[in-house]
């Protein structure tokens, strides 16, 4: 690609030396030769206001050649970042040349008819463009041979001298190849529109600014390659969907929450065998889900599948009710831990961007039922929803604490509001509830709780008494769990948690 790209690049110096500008007299030449991409023959000054950058502006002979005209033309051309201004041959005052120098724009005088020069230049630009067209056709044929998205991106990158090329969705890089991105790169983006035009997939090339590259050609190559990108991606997605059927089946068949995992396995043994699941193989289940249920975008499955390839290529990802599921073979605990870390490091930021969370099942040596590990992963995913997008959590580090993930915090807060009105309206509410929470966290020990809060025992005691005055039933064991839950919820909504020295996760009920 490099050779033809440089050969097709027309510039002022080149065309002056051996091109259609050879017959002109340079009145002023800029130190660096400007790129030439088009030519316009103007007969009215106003027309220069519309020219594209890198255009040679040729003033027609009938416009005359007054110094003021050249001055105004130079100014307009400079504002439009034109490559050069060509005027009819004549004697020019040093002032016009001085202005060209001041504005840094090449000024040439045509010895013959400027219109003839414009025609010759247009022919030369057309010839160069036709070479470019042939080149683009070759690129299109090459990328059409690739069948995987990775290969298509690699081919595009190869055609672009190894520049970084990536497929992105809403700013999340789904797949990339070539040179790693640098901040100074010139970013060229082409939309990869789906059937739904609102979906923003883009094919992006990052071109180092140091090199002299024809950015329009880079864009053209991306545009030509876009259909191949789409085709390869759709094909892969189709294959993934087929491969994910056995995984989807497990989630789809497990509709009886009362039945144990083992019962499920017994009931569907034959079907599971037919689907390819073998007894005695160890898996870790991974469940992805959206932070909010209604936030479901149809294209997310395809997006997530591309992202999932950054973790593993072997386990297909299935779209299931309430999220996405995959089962990853994991022969030992280390493999399971590595998997969790890989998901966190390679997908965490992307999941956060997409508003998703992930939950993993525990690794267990005694070959747990597939339905059980799927349930674990789903529970883990559901219980971390409140922690915020991008969270990745294993059921192993959750245990019974998962239960609090299913408590409706808003409902508990409402219960507190209605049943403890005096406490809720009290100005010292936060201090009192911090004291109550610490007291209950430390199994009713005033000494331990006071120590934890860095308070004197009597101070804490006074606050607990104050809580009792405000109606908090601290002395009725059957109500303590509810009080603890309310304390837990209220403490979350406190503006400043500095008065609670320990983190809430340590002191969960």
Partner 1 sequence: MSTVLTTEDIRNLRTGAHFLTCTIDPTAIYIYAEMIQRAMEDRSLELITVDELAPDDLVVAVGMVTQGLFIADMPPVGDEFLGCIRAIEASLGRSVRAIYSLAAANINGIVPLMVGLQSSLPVIDSDPMGRVFPLISQTTLNIGNVPIGPIALMGVTGERAVVEVESPQRAETLVRALVTELGGWAATAMYPCSAQQLKEHGVHGSISRMIRIGQILNANTPVEKKLLMLAEFLGTTRIARARVSHIESLSRPTDLGLPAQPSSVTLDDETTGRIIRLEIQNEILLVLVDGAVTAAVPDMVTLLNSEQGTVVNIDDVQVGDVIDIVKITAAAQWYTEAGLDLTEPKAFGIPIGHPRRRHA
Query: Which positions lie near partner 1, rule CB under 8 A?
Result: 44-46, 64, 66-68, 71-76, 78, 93-95, 98-99, 102-103
Q: Give just the sign of the alpha carbon dihedral 401, 403, 407, 412.
A: negative
182, 208 contact by CB (below 8 A):
yes
Closer CB to partner 1, 96 or 304, in the complex: 96
Beta bridge partners of 59: 42
- Element spanning 464, H or E: helix 457-469
Maximum pairwise Cα distance, the chain: 107
Residue with Cβ nearer partner 1 (44 or 508)? 44
Q: How far is the CB of 15 from partner 1 (least distance, A)?
A: 24
Nearer to partner 1, 94 or 459 (CB): 94
When the beta carbons of 76 and 484 are compared against partner 1, the nearer one is 76
Nearer to partner 1, 49 or 296 (CB): 49
Name which of 46 and 365 has its Cβ closer to partner 1: 46
d(CA 329, CA 282): 6
* CB of 122 vs partner 1, minimal distance in Å: 24
Minimum CB distance to partner 1 smaller for 68 or for 406: 68
N-to-C CA span, the chain: 65
Nearest distance, CB of residue 112 and partner 1, angstroms: 21
Q: H or E stretch including 231?
A: helix 215-243
With DSSP H G I counted as helix, E B as strand and the rest as coil, what are the percentages for the chain, rounded to 5?
Answer: 55, 15, 30
Which residue matches tokens 């390869």? 232
Q: In sequence order, what are the residues at sequence separation of 6 or more whose Cβ sits closer than 8 angstroms to the Cβ of residue 148?
A: 232, 236
Task: State in angstroms the smallest separation of the CB of 83 from partner 1.
Answer: 17
Q: Whole-number minimum distance, CB 99 to partner 1, in Å? A: 5
CB of 105 to partner 1, least distance (A): 10
Smallest distance, partner 1 to C-beta of residue 161, A: 39
Please name which of 305, 426, 411 lies closest in space to residue 354, comparing C-alpha atoms: 305
Q: Is 46 exposed, middle or buried (0-12, 13-18, 19+ CB in 10 A)?
A: exposed
CA distance 196 to 191: 12
The answer to whether the beta carbons of residues 224 and 139 sit under 8 Å apart is yes
For partner 1, give the closer residue by CB, 61 or 175.
61
Instruction: Give me the least distance between CB of 44 and partner 1, in Å please.
Output: 7
Q: Which is nearer to partner 1, 46 or 410 (CB)?
A: 46
**DSSP one-letter code for 344:** I
Task: Give the burial class of 472: count Cβ atoms within 10 A of its Cβ; 0-12 exposed, 13-18 middle, 19 or more buried.
Answer: buried
- Shortest Å, Cβ 224 to partner 1: 38
Query: Which residues lie closer than 8 Å to 427 by C-beta, 6 or more apart?
Result: none
Q: How far is the CB of 65 from partner 1 (least distance, A)?
A: 10
Of the candidates 49, 212, 229, the one whose C-alpha atom is nearest the C-alpha of residue 154 is: 229
Count of residues making up the chain:
509
Least CB distance to partner 1 at residue 121 (A)? 23
Q: What is the DSSP string of 95-163?
A: HHHHHHHHHT-EEEEESS-HHHHHHHHHHHHHHHHHHHHHHHHHHHHHHHT--SHHHHHHHHHHHTTT-
CB of 48 to partner 1, least distance (A): 11
Which of 72/412 has CB closer to partner 1? 72
Of residues 71 and 404, the one with the C-beta less far from partner 1: 71
Looking only at the bridges linking them, the beta strands covering 356-360 and 392-394 are: parallel
Backbone φ and ψ for 208, nearest 5 degrees, come out as: -60, 140
Distance between CA atoms of residues 501 and 215, nearest Å: 57
Choice between 25 and 44, CB closer to partner 1: 44
């Amino acid at each position: 690609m490099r050779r033809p790209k440089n050969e097709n690049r027309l510039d002022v110096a080149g065309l002056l030396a051996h091109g259609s500008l050879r017959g002109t007299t340079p009145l002023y030449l800029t130190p660096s030769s400007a790129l030439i991409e088009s030519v316009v023959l103007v007969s009215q000054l106003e027309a220069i206001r519309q020219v594209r950058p890198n255009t040679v502006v040729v003033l027609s002979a009938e416009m005359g050649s007054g110094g003021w005209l050249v001055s105004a033309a130079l100014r307009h051309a400079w504002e439009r970042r034109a490559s050069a201004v060509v005027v009819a041959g004549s004697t020019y005052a040093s002032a016009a040349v001085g202005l060209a120098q001041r504005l840094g724009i090449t000024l040439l005088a045509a010895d013959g008819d400027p219109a003839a020069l414009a025609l010759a230049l247009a022919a030369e630009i057309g010839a160069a463009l036709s070479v470019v067209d042939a080149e683009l056709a070759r690129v299109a044929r090459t990328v059409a041979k690739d069948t995987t998205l990775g290969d298509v991106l690699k081919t595009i990158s190869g055609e672009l001298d190894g520049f970084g090329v990536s497929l992105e969705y809403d700013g999340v890089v789904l797949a990339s190849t070539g040179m790693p991105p640098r901040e100074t790169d010139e970013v060229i983006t082409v939309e990869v529109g789906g059937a739904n035009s609102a979906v923003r997939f883009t094919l992006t090339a990052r071109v180092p600014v140091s090199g002299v590259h024809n950015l329009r050609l880079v864009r053209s190559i991306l545009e030509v390659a876009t259909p191949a990108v789409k085709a390869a991606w759709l094909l892969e997605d189709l294959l993934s969907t087929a491969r994910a059927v056995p995984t989807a089946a497990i989630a789809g068949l497990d509709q009886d929450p009362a039945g144990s995992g083992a019962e499920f396995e017994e009931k569907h043994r034959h079907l599971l065998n037919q689907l390819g699941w073998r007894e005695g193989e160890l898996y870790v289940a991974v469940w992805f889900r959206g932070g909010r249920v209604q936030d479901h975008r149809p294209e997310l499955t395809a997006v997530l599948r591309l992202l999932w390839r950054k973790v593993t290529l072997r386990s297909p990802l299935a779209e299931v009710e309430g999220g996405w599921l995959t089962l990853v073979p994991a022969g030992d605990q280390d493999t399971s831990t590595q998997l969790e870390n890989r998901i966190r490091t390679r997908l965490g930021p992307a999941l956060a961007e997409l508003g998703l969370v992930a939950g993993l099942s525990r690794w267990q040596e005694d070959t747990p039922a597939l339905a059980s590990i799927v349930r674990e992963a789903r529970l883990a995913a559901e219980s971390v929803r409140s922690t915020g997008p991008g969270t990745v959590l294993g059921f192993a580090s959750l245990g019974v604490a998962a239960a609090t993930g299913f408590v409706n915090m808003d409902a508990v807060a409402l219960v507190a509001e209605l049943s403890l009105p005096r406490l809720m309206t009290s100005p010292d509410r936060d201090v009192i509830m911090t004291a109550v929470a610490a007291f209950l966290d430390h199994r009713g020990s005033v000494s331990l709780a006071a120590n934890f809060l860095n308070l004197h025992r009597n101070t804490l005691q006074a606050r607990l008494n104050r809580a009792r005055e405000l109606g908090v039933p601290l002395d009725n064991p059957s109500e303590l769990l509810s009080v603890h839950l309310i304390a837990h919820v209220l403490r979350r909504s406190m503006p400043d948690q500095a008065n609670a020295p320990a983190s809430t996760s340590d002191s969960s009920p």
